A and B are shown apart, each in its own frame.
Chain A
């Protein structure tokens, strides 16, 4: 997988993960182009499209589009299920996930993705194992009261 983008129906980018080195300018250009292309597609159309020399696999969940770019020899259907498994992981972690969860806890969305996908390949496909890793990390965090007297800004 070359990259994954999450964006809203309004075209707002919610998460971006790049597995190939690209300049910020290129990333922005690709994002703009792809968001436009995908948003222009009708609901019943197929989830795959050829884009430049890559294959794009996307799926919409409620107000969010999940969109992956894979190489030519990569498997489209399994990528579709990668997306689904990631959604399941988010859902399990946040408890019925919605777009707002991802906006306000974007760092968590990144951490979960890193536990699931690394270097563009599935690291572990077991839901249990991935969530266990995240929960262990959450246990390591400091008790919150420590910070109650810290000013907000």
Chain B
């Protein structure tokens, strides 16, 4: 234990810390901590009142335990008690505990605020400072509410001590950051600006930070700060190296204050007043001159402080972007740093030059350093520096040097760090597109990207090359030839297969004249890659094959054979199987004309912002991107970097929405082929994998329904499968369902009607009591959030085990605003959904009718019509109910009869029904006969509600 000469040693604390340090294992440490926690808890709970010292010591121990990473859930009250102690160290520890451990929604906040209020009005500067530090450290909304008006008063009061002013200024800064709406400008603002003239440099330093923050919020109110800041800066810059005494740092005059003043000036355009403007230019020149002077000290602190001011001055010069001489000087200075022995300086020079590259005045000057930057890319040992070099090359790229830069980036890509490869790929793709004069270069570049870093080539990149090739006739033949050659490599990246498949499928004919790339050779080449590819790529290749059939009738037979093989037609993957089946059928039945129309060349893509650019923006996040001249200028004229966040994200959205699905071919012509598929096959493909997932997962987690279960629309769904099930002010629930035999699938659509996101969204289905054994409903997991205006889809897989009466309940829970919403809706899964219609002759019908004559098998109901007695509507309802409507069976033509089979997993139940309307009496008689009494009863109940 070190001997602590200063401060108030708390021996118990030191012993405890030693104990912890001596613990040999994590377990031992936890044991020791638990022992201590128990001890402290008993002391706090004990009958004996603790004195201030003990309280302080235990609170401090708790703090230590918390800082070790353990949770602390008591002691807050004792800490709050310490706040009102009149002993400084006790108060201090109390405040420290509160600052570190009390979060804003603590219920102790009013007690804390009270203590702070007392200290603020104590007129004791040390106590006032403690209180201000606490506000600044916690910075919660409650504190802002309590003190946002009081702190400015303290700040500008004439009799406030300097040290308190400093704390008050930064305390206000923090409150303004967390709750800007609560910090209101007032007559104090003018006086705050004049703090820039204060004699005490500490006060000026603190005040400058505050003014910068406030000026960003309301520039008008603080406009006068510009001239004061320039005057102050001028005095510092021209002062001798010891004039400012303790504010001189390693022979640099007030570096922190200088940086802050330069930062403040970046909130405003160049001063309009000529005199002020001249003085500022003078300051900036002096700073640039000083950079050339020999260092006054060899210490790194000296050069860091000096260069910190220099870099901030350069930032201001770039921000103003109006003085060509200064811009070029700045650029030359940075050029020197590019070869400095300090890694830090090289890093910063590269970073700063990126912004210079976007100024029209200095763009050319930046370009002269291209060789140095390329060299940095090759020789820097630190990846973060190389990253900056890549950024700068990207920023300085234009038509004149694009080929060189793209080539350098490509060759760097082969050895680049994995962490930055994807970004380099995006940048190369963007530059190649932007500065392509001839598109053969572009195609080569992208294919090289795939070759060197295929894994890092995102979908956006290969979509883009295809869009461009499709839109430009002149490059199509070259592209086909090049991908054909690239595909010859024994091992090529799957992305190349995708591009190759797509391009040959569209433009293979352009190279088919050459016997070395005849249609059959092209096809064999593509197909040789088929088996090594993932499902989406294979799907794309199948589409390319059907396009081949159209382009080259001579390979039709070969391709049909491939499609016909078991590995395609019976592929385990539904998508592949469906494509094989459909394409094969299409190639067999369609005439060449139809084939040519359906499989026509893709139409040009609409020109739009490259989705790659959007992706790069997303990747880099707002604020540190330098795309091109215009964009940067726009941002700057909008003053500051705050505006570009929203524009970045909205760009990303715009570009993301039209991004093609994983399969480009699916977008255009092939959609027609998919639609032409016979509807029956759709049903199968839908249900084939219904129970591929674990059914057992349901219904283990069963939240109990809260509140009433909504069932207003329930009976509407008895005879139909689609529609709106439920709606309130926030949420709309729509359904779409399909049933086949004893299986069903229901798509539930949750529509967020508000503009606010639903959080913690969860929907589950509960089958209660006996229903559990009769019906399996498996809900696939869905997203936990639903964006405002968006729709969330959840899929339910349903299996009917045996006949049932009750309906499952859909429980929905989500957080909207601050409140938790609970909604329960009865799900319209009814027994009749598992009906299969059965056609039969009159004779068969009556024979079975008689067979089902036992009294419990028949259920009959006579009821009044609730709707108009329209024959067509009634027919539609019976068919919607699921039974076959049998015409001409009943001797009375106004009666309706139907027949069908209810499928459950265990049994099948034959059902016959007869509905006899009596229009005069506006009554119906409904008779159900089935082999099971419960089924007869349930179907009769369901159907009788419908008329």
Query: A residues near B, CB below 8 A?
Result: 13, 15-16, 19, 21, 24, 28, 42, 44-50, 52-53, 72-73, 75-78, 80-82, 84-85, 93-95, 98, 100-101, 103-108, 110-111, 114, 118-129, 133, 136-138, 140-142, 144, 146-147, 150, 152-153
Q: Are A78's CB and B256's CB within 8 A?
A: yes
**Is B74 located at the chain interface by the 8 A CB criterion?**
no
Residues of B within 8 A of A53 (CB): 621-624
Q: Are B384's CB and A104's CB within 8 A?
A: no
Asked if A46 meets B15 with Cβ closer than 8 Å, knowing A21-B139, A123-B166, the reply is no
Q: What are 7 A-B contacts with C-beta separation under 8 Å?
A: A28-B69, A42-B382, A45-B384, A49-B384, A75-B259, A103-B21, A133-B163
Shortest A130–chain B CB gap in Å is: 9
Q: Mark B711-750, 1 if CB is under 8 A from A, else 0.
A: 0000000000000000000000000000000000000000
**Is B849 located at the chain interface by the 8 A CB criterion?**
no
Q: Are B92's CB and A137's CB within 8 A?
A: yes
Complex CA gap A136/B247 in Å reads: 20
**From DSSP, what is the main secondary structure of chain B's interface residues?**
helix
Q: Are B622's CB and A77's CB within 8 A?
A: no
Q: Are A119's CB and B255's CB within 8 A?
A: no
Nearest B-chain residue to A144, judged by Cβ:
B8
Q: Are A126's CB and B201's CB within 8 A?
A: yes
Residues of B within 8 A of A78 (CB): 255-256, 259, 304-305, 308, 312
- Which residue of the partner chain, among B12, B89, B245, contacts A153 with CB atoms under 8 Å? B12
Extra contacts, 16 of them, besides A106-B67, A118-B206 (Cβ < 8 A), are A45-B381, A46-B344, A48-B384, A53-B624, A75-B308, A81-B249, A93-B6, A110-B96, A118-B136, A121-B170, A123-B202, A124-B205, A142-B8, A150-B53, A150-B54, A152-B15
State which residues 1-54 of B face A: CB under 8 Å. Answer: 1-2, 4-9, 11-12, 14-15, 17, 21, 39, 51, 53-54
Nearest B-chain residue to A132, judged by Cβ:
B163
Residues of B within 8 A of A95 (CB): 5
Tell me which of B171-179, B182-190, B363-371, B830-838 binds A: B171-179
Q: Mark B405-427, 1 if CB is under 8 A from A, else 0.
A: 00000000000000000000000
Residues of A within 8 A of B205 (CB): 122-125
Q: Are B173's CB and A125's CB within 8 A?
A: no
Asked if A118 meets B126 with Cβ closer than 8 Å, knowing A72-B623, A81-B305, the reply is no
Complex CA gap A152/B14 in Å reads: 10
**Is B209 located at the chain interface by the 8 A CB criterion?**
yes
**Is B301 located at the chain interface by the 8 A CB criterion?**
yes
- Which residue of the partner chain, among A52, A101, A104, A122, contacts B256 with CB atoms under 8 Å? A122
Q: Number of B residues contacting the other chain (C-beta, 8 Å)?
A: 88
Q: Are B126's CB and A140's CB within 8 A?
A: yes
**Is B63 located at the chain interface by the 8 A CB criterion?**
yes
Residues of B within 8 A of A100 (CB): 1-2
Nearest A-chain residue to B384, judged by Cβ:
A49
Nearest A-chain residue to B310, judged by Cβ:
A77
**Is B137 located at the chain interface by the 8 A CB criterion?**
yes
Nearest A-chain residue to B43, judged by Cβ:
A153
**Is B452 located at the chain interface by the 8 A CB criterion?**
no
- Which residue of the partner chain, among B1, B104, B163, B385, contacts A46 with CB atoms under 8 Å? B385
Shortest B399–chain A CB gap in Å is: 29
**Is B311 located at the chain interface by the 8 A CB criterion?**
yes
Residues of B within 8 A of A124 (CB): 163, 166, 202, 205-206
Asked if A46 meets B343 with Cβ closer than 8 Å, knowing A28-B69, A127-B246, A140-B89, the reply is yes
Give the A-B pair count, Cβ closer than 8 A: 204
Q: Are A81's CB and B301's CB within 8 A?
A: yes
Q: Are A138's CB and B6's CB within 8 A?
A: yes
Q: Are B136's CB and A119's CB within 8 A?
A: yes
Q: Are B170's CB and A77's CB within 8 A?
A: no
- Which residue of the partner chain, among B14, B133, B384, contacts A50 with CB atoms under 8 Å? B384
Q: Mark B112-124, 1 if CB is under 8 A from A, else 0.
A: 0000000000000
Q: Are A46's CB and B347's CB within 8 A?
A: yes
Q: Are A101's CB and B2's CB within 8 A?
A: yes
The 8 closest A-B pairs by CB, nearest first: A119-B174, A77-B308, A124-B202, A140-B88, A118-B170, A78-B308, A46-B343, A121-B209
- Which residue of the partner chain, among A107, A111, A123, contacts B170 with CB atoms under 8 Å? A123
Complex CA gap A101/B9 in Å reads: 12
Complex CA gap A130/B201 in Å reads: 13
Complex CA gap A150/B245 in Å reads: 46
Asked if A75 meets B312 with Cβ closer than 8 Å, knowing A46-B384, A107-B60, the reply is yes
Nearest A-chain residue to B91, judged by Cβ:
A140
Q: Are A122's CB and B133's CB within 8 A?
A: no
Residues of A within 8 A of B89 (CB): 140-142
Q: Are A125's CB and B254's CB within 8 A?
A: yes
Q: Are A136's CB and B126's CB within 8 A?
A: yes
Asked if A111 meets B96 with Cβ closer than 8 Å, knowing A80-B304, A119-B171, the reply is yes
Q: Are B256's CB and A77's CB within 8 A?
A: no
Complex CA gap A28/B157 in Å reads: 41
Q: Are A13's CB and B256's CB within 8 A?
A: no
Q: Are A142's CB and B348's CB within 8 A?
A: no
**Is B947 located at the chain interface by the 8 A CB criterion?**
no
Q: Are A105's CB and B7's CB within 8 A?
A: yes
Most buried by B among A80, A108, A124, A142: A124
Shortest B299–chain A CB gap in Å is: 10
Shortest A123–chain B CB gap in Å is: 5
Residues of A within 8 A of B209 (CB): 119, 121-122
Complex CA gap A100/B4 in Å reads: 11
Nearest B-chain residue to A57, judged by Cβ:
B344
Nearest A-chain residue to B177, judged by Cβ:
A119
**Is B346 located at the chain interface by the 8 A CB criterion?**
yes
Complex CA gap A44/B380 in Å reads: 11
Residues of A within 8 A of B202 (CB): 123-126, 129
Q: Are A13's CB and B67's CB within 8 A?
A: yes
Complex CA gap A130/B477 in Å reads: 74
Residues of B within 8 A of A122 (CB): 205-206, 209, 256
Complex CA gap A47/B344 in Å reads: 6
Q: Are A147's CB and B246's CB within 8 A?
A: no
Shortest A66–chain B CB gap in Å is: 14
Shortest B582–chain A CB gap in Å is: 47
Complex CA gap A44/B347 in Å reads: 13
- Which residue of the partner chain, among B14, B67, B139, B315, contacts A119 with CB atoms under 8 Å? B139
Residues of A within 8 A of B937 (CB): none
Asked if A81 meets B174 with Cβ closer than 8 Å, knowing A44-B381, A125-B247, A144-B8, the reply is no
